[in-house]
């Protein structure tokens, strides 16, 4: 039946205003540190009470300031995975799962055994959290949550404590897990790649307020405003002047560009993602000479910093490791790769 949120909370000089809904899907809340991501989860879980507003999960009112409803965390049918996983340190893996079990007594042992087998922690049953790796702790914490059987699953930066290799493995496991889970999943992250890999829909949170929201791929393709574009990883953003129905002058880059969409009066910026440039002429549009400024090697690709010839504004271009960018003299960008953005 979904999750519906409309809340406000002031906290130590910070104000959260979150309003969104999610229907039986995986929702990512993407934002920088301090944007209000974790606070939003804690309000849903009942660990923090909003100042006003309403939270409804699967048809149940969890919080309603007008009706003075504020269910306790244990009454909300919510599973919450903390960044630290929050396993009880004085209990074994099996005991951590047993204490959360919410199923039938007659199938208790079989259900717990099946959960430990599913999350590949059967051989860890008698170990304590301090004896587990980060990935093992995460799997034990997930098994504990599903032993309870919540109607809503909340995950706070679930992969932040893992190294790169383990993170990728656990992301694949998480993807499988949420396909099997019959309910809403909300997770918060500061990683746009993580959000893109795992979520169906996206909230971009900026200083306590949603900067963009909707279908994940649609938000990435058209974030709508400069703040959301930056948070979703757009490295190239310039103030613009409208020079025609589908023409702009990008002030920071010194470029006249043709756009696919009509330019509106409220469009104050343009964005081009770093993979949007092409080292060849395309359809006669947006072709310009360039000066290559620098190359930054990554493990699998390179960041090329360049400028339009004779201009001063830097742009970023991502290319494959085998590209000899120093030999590039001309680039183009397709009109549909130019995002028109509000302030």
- Nearest one of 221, 258, 253 to 239, comparing CA atoms: 253
Last residue of a domain, one of 170, 196, 221: 221
Judgement on whether residues 289 and 206 belong to the same structural domain of the protein: no
Reduced to 3 states, what is the DSSP secondary structure of residue 276? coil
Given a contact cutoff of 8 angstroms between Cβ atoms, the answer to whether 322 and 310 are in contact is no
pLDDT at 323: 87
The full length of the chain comes to 343
Cα(162)–Cα(167) distance, integer angstroms: 5
Torsion on CA atoms 235, 237, 238, 241, rounded to nearest 10: 150
Reduced to 3 states, what is the DSSP secondary structure of residue 85? coil
pLDDT at 163 over 90: no
Which of 36-40, 169-173, 200-204 is predicted least confidently? 169-173
pLDDT at 177 over 70: yes
Q: What percentage of residues in the chain have a pLDDT greater than 90?
A: 72
- Nearest one of 189, 139, 187, 194 to 164, comparing CA atoms: 194
Cα(202)–Cα(22) distance, integer angstroms: 10
Judgement on whether residues 284 and 187 belong to the same structural domain of the protein: no
pLDDT at 40: 96
Q: Which two tokens stand for residue 109?
A: 């042992």
pLDDT in tens, 307-331: 999 999 999 999 998 888 888 999 9
The verdict on residue 327 lying in a domain is: yes
Judgement on whether residues 276 and 205 belong to the same structural domain of the protein: no
The verdict on residue 229 lying in a domain is: no
Mean pLDDT of the 29-49 span? 94
The verdict on residue 210 lying in a domain is: yes
Name the one residue in this structure whose structure tokens are 């007594």.
105
Judgement on whether residues 69 and 134 belong to the same structural domain of the protein: yes
Helix or strand holding residue 333 (H, E): strand 330-333
Cα(266)–Cα(126) distance, integer angstroms: 61
Count Cβ atoms below 10 Å from residue 271 Cβ, excluding itself: 25
Cα(92)–Cα(42) distance, integer angstroms: 26
CATH number at residue 166: 3.40.50.300
Cβ-count burial 84-110 (b if 16+ within 10 Å, e if not): ebebeeeebbbbbbeebbeeeeeeeee
Phi, psi of 215 (to 5 degrees): -55, 135
Range of the domain at 284: 234-341
pLDDT at 285: 84
Cα(16)–Cα(221) distance, integer angstroms: 26
Q: Which two tokens stand for residue 15?
A: 């104000």
The verdict on residue 226 lying in a domain is: no
pLDDT in tens, 239-262: 999 999 999 999 999 999 999 999
Strand partners, 78: 152
Q: Is 317 left (phi over 0), alpha (psi -120 to 50) or beta?
A: beta
pLDDT tier at 283, thresholds 50, 70, 90: low
Judgement on whether residues 131 and 267 belong to the same structural domain of the protein: no
pLDDT tier at 14, thresholds 50, 70, 90: confident
Q: Which two tokens stand for residue 57?
A: 């999960």
pLDDT tier at 282, thresholds 50, 70, 90: low
Judgement on whether residues 54 and 155 belong to the same structural domain of the protein: yes
pLDDT at 125 over 90: yes
Mean pLDDT of the 73-101 span? 92
pLDDT tier at 1, thresholds 50, 70, 90: low
Cα(46)–Cα(79) distance, integer angstroms: 11
- Please, how many CA atoms are within 13 Å of residue 103, restricted to the half-sphere of its CB? 18
Mean pLDDT of the 265-292 span? 90
CA distance readout (Å), 206 to 15, 114, 158? 11, 41, 20
Judgement on whether residues 99 and 240 belong to the same structural domain of the protein: no
Judgement on whether residues 153 and 33 belong to the same structural domain of the protein: yes
pLDDT at 281: 62
**What is the residue-averaged pLDDT of the chain?**
92
pLDDT at 102: 82
The reported pTM is 0.89
pLDDT at 165 over 80: no
pLDDT at 160: 78
Judgement on whether residues 104 and 19 belong to the same structural domain of the protein: yes
Which of 25-29, 196-200, 201-205, 321-325 is predicted least confidently? 321-325
Domains contained in the chain, number? 2
């Amino acid at each position: 039946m979904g999750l519906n949120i409309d809340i406000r909370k002031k906290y130590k000089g910070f104000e959260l205003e979150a309003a969104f809904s999610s229907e039986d899907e995986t929702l990512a809340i993407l934002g920088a540190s301090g944007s209000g991501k974790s606070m939003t989860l804690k309000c849903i879980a009942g660990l923090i009470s909003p100042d006003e507003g309403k939270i409804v999960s699967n048809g149940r009112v969890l919080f309603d300031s007008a009706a003075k409803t504020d269910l306790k965390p244990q009454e909300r049918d919510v599973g919450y995975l903390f960044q630290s996983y929050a396993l009880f340190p004085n209990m074994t893996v099996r005991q951590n799962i047993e204490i959360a079990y919410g199923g039938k007594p007659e199938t208790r042992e079989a259900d717990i055994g099946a959960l430990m087998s599913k999350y590949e922690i059967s051989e860890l049953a008698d170990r304590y959290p301090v004896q587990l790796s980060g990935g093992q702790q995460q799997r034990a914490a997930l098994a504990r949550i599903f032993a309870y059987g919540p109607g809503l699953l909340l995950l706070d930066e679930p992969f932040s404590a893992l190294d790169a290799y383990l993170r990728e493995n656990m992301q694949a496991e998480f993807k499988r897990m949420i396909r099997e889970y019959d309910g809403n999943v909300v997770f918060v992250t500061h990683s746009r790649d993580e959000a893109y890999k795992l979520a169906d829909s996206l909230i971009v949170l900026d200083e306590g307020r949603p900067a963009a929201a909707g279908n994940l791929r649609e938000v990435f393709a058209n974030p709508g405003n400069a703040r959301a574009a930056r948070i979703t990883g757009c490295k190239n953003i310039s103030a613009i002047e409208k020079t025609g129905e589908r023409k702009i002058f990008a002030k920071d880059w010194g470029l006249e560009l043709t756009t696919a969409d009509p330019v509106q009066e409220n469009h104050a910026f343009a964005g081009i993602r770093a993979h949007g440039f092409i080292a060849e002429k395309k359809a006669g549009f947006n072709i310009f000479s360039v000066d290559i400024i620098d190359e930054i090697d990554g493990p699998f690709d390179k960041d090329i910093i360049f400028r339009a010839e004779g201009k001063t504004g830097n742009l970023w271009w991502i290319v494959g490791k085998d590209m000899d960018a120093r030999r590039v003299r001309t680039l183009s960008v397709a009109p549909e790769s130019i995002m028109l953005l509000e302030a």
